[in-house]
Amino acid sequence: MWPLVAAVAVLTPAPMASLKAMSYNVRFSTANDGEYSWPHRKDRLYALLKHEAADIIGLQEALRPQITEIRHAVPGYAEVGVGRDDGVSSGEHCTILYRSDRFAVS
């Protein structure tokens, strides 16, 4: 019986760590969007991000104030990304948010 138990132990794969990633096109904030403007969209986005609880989130078209609001509303994430216009903070961003309790960027 022991050889059978040993064979089962060898064939059982090690558990893999899970990683959940998602991407979301935030769309920049502009008053011209009327009912689709950022103030009307942001609470739904916050709820979605909290519900999904992804480890890594790619954000497209977000402006710096939107990213700041998202990080405030959905804590626990650090970020990597720059603004398109000046390579720092101006213009639309393609930002990566990552769970700061799981990852470190160096």
Classify domain 18-99 at the CATH class level: alpha beta
93 sits in which H/E element? strand 93-99
Type of residue numbered 12: T
pLDDT > 90? residue 14: no
Distance of CA 3 to the CA centre of its chain: 47
| Mean pLDDT score, 43-51 | 98
pLDDT > 50? residue 4: no
**Amino acid 57: pLDDT:** 99
pTM: 0.82
| Mean pLDDT score, 79-88 | 95
Instruction: State the pLDDT confidence band at 12, using cuts at 50, 70 and 90.
Output: low
**Amino acid 68: pLDDT:** 98
Q: Which residue has the higher pLDDT, 104 or 10?
A: 104
**Amino acid 106: pLDDT:** 87
Q: Quick check: helix, strand or coil at residue 59? A: strand
